[in-house]
Chains A and B, each alone.
Chain A
């Protein structure tokens, strides 16, 4: 962890000092998480890309004036969040349709990856996908920031504009809902499979 912090600090420093390689290193390292982060707040991938584009232009242009940081990811998240907030997409209704389509598409790699690492049983995946979609947007974002991006509660609180306590409470509730879905559905599914088995045996 400490190592990562130092690495961040040095990369940021050489970027600020005008090193163009460091600038594109920033892009290579952080654009993936920035895209995923952006998609948590708005499902219009074109809009998220535009914001990332503008964010990097600003970084390039005002690099000398930027403050020092030892957590680039958090710094960039905050910057992108602000950028997206400022340039809200105009037609949010249209984006809703698009987002639905996108959600469907984006789940395909999720399943594939899940199967590859095979730590999770496939039926659980369906259950959890369902349960997650029932959570509030805030809870979904909190889960994403903690588990996908390894952020701390104070950082999550800043990005979601809530208190640290509230971040923790929301996280706890979300986890509880998911756990309940997992254990409950598993029982009913197990029952289902047993019935199915006994039928086919006969």
Chain B
């Protein structure tokens, strides 16, 4: 079969040399060479001046952003942030997982575990039996004190960051002080992955669950909390995060200062950023993939680490879910209509689950009984 011009040019990686070496009539080769030369001519070129002009625009935009960022660092004195999550299973595949998120997702913890576990390098595992545990890292990240009496050590001699993992089962809580002084309170059923010592230029941790962060201020090293739905960038502040990966809707509440939520998407750049102001609550709904903002009293969302929950017109369904996690008891809502009834008030978590339910009972008409570890509500 004789080769036509289009047969020659349609090939991958065609070059003028390849055209000349093709086996075809001189007439076809000439036409192919002409067409090739024509198609290679750049269209829509811009002038050197246009190129330079756009470059200097980009340069000045970058400088403006850098200046604004420095101002923001000064503003962020102390802030409080809460994530509240509820609902079913939701999962999004992120193409841009950082190392820490990858590491966190590679860990499969036992959901029915009842012991708080600290996993160090080389898979060394420390079991902590207290309901409320207290963990303290020294500045080098090598010495770890657990409670008042227990001390352990780990060696950190590699260049690669060594991640430690703290998992807190339902019914337990933990407080941890990281190597640079940041304090974190982990609520029931939560997991945190963090480097034993932070990198030189930034501090990055991954959270699955709920936690309050009191971040020690270091303007040189931004602190980033990653979660399954979005990241939070903070610079020396106090905040609480609740982002259970088996929950659907997440939200954040800010008390003081400024923080930025970064929503990671499948595309190569974040689709959405949200800069929050004090007293605001941002809810993330995976259904429409949007942040929604509203005014709240932030202290309501921080109270749990002092031992009580505050609810304002919260549905009983959500309240019971939180209590179930906190006390690690199964709560079976027999009367489904009650799930949407709202309750306002404060619940003392030092009390037993029955006492807490009695408090709710004062305003919401419900009955309950306890069968072993299960509380039935009807």
Interface positions of A (Cβ within 8 A of B): 24, 27-28, 31-32, 35-36, 39-40, 45, 49, 52-53, 56-58, 60-62, 65-67, 78-79, 82, 102, 106, 109-110, 113-114, 117, 119-121, 124-125, 128, 143-144, 146-148, 150, 152-153, 168, 171-172, 175-176, 178-179, 182-183
Q: Given A62-B270, A183-B31: A120 and B37 within 8 A (CB)?
A: yes
Residue B51 CB within 8 A of the other chain: yes
In the complex, what residues of B have CB within 8 A of residue A65's CB? 96, 98
Q: How far is the CB of A66 from chain B (nearest CB, A)?
A: 6
Interface positions of B (Cβ within 8 A of A): 4-6, 9-10, 12-13, 31, 33-46, 50-51, 54-55, 57-59, 61-62, 65, 95-96, 98, 267-270
Q: How far is the CB of B221 from chain A (nearest CB, A)?
A: 13
- Structural contact, A119 and B269, CB atoms closer than 8 A: no
In the complex, what residues of A have CB within 8 A of residue B41's CB? 110, 113-114, 148
Among B9, B43, B57, B59, the residue within 8 A (CB) of A36 is B43
- Structural contact, A152 and B58, CB atoms closer than 8 A: no
- Structural contact, A67 and B268, CB atoms closer than 8 A: yes
Q: Given A62-B270, A66-B268, A67-B95: A35 and B46 within 8 A (CB)?
A: yes
| Dominant secondary structure of chain B at its interface with chain A | helix
- Structural contact, B44 and A119, CB atoms closer than 8 A: no
Q: How far is the CB of A102 from chain B (nearest CB, A)?
A: 8
Bound Cα distance A83, B198 (Å): 34
In the complex, what residues of B have CB within 8 A of residue A113's CB? 41-42
| Residue of A with least CB distance to B58 | A56
| Residue of B with least CB distance to A118 | B37
Among A53, A57, A61, A176, the residue within 8 A (CB) of B6 is A176
In the complex, what residues of B have CB within 8 A of residue A168's CB? 10
- Structural contact, B267 and A179, CB atoms closer than 8 A: no
- Structural contact, B34 and A175, CB atoms closer than 8 A: no
In the complex, what residues of B have CB within 8 A of residue A183's CB? 31
- Structural contact, B10 and A172, CB atoms closer than 8 A: yes
Bound Cα distance A78, B31 (Å): 33
6 A-B pairs besides A175-B6, A175-B10 with CB distance below 8 A are A32-B51, A35-B46, A52-B54, A124-B38, A148-B41, A175-B35
Among A45, A60, A67, A119, the residue within 8 A (CB) of B62 is A60
Bound Cα distance A160, B212 (Å): 47
Q: List 9 A-B contacts (CB under 8 A).
A: A32-B45, A32-B46, A60-B62, A61-B65, A128-B38, A144-B43, A168-B10, A172-B10, A179-B4
Q: Given A32-B51, A152-B12: A114 and B38 within 8 A (CB)?
A: yes
In the complex, what residues of B have CB within 8 A of residue A60's CB? 58, 62
- Structural contact, B96 and A148, CB atoms closer than 8 A: no
Q: How far is the CB of A147 from chain B (nearest CB, A)?
A: 4
In the A-B complex, the 7 residue pairs with the smallest Cβ-Cβ separation, listed nearest first, are A39-B44, A147-B39, A175-B6, A179-B5, A119-B37, A176-B6, A56-B58
- Structural contact, B44 and A117, CB atoms closer than 8 A: no
Q: Given A52-B54, A152-B12: A182 and B45 within 8 A (CB)?
A: no
- Structural contact, B58 and A27, CB atoms closer than 8 A: yes
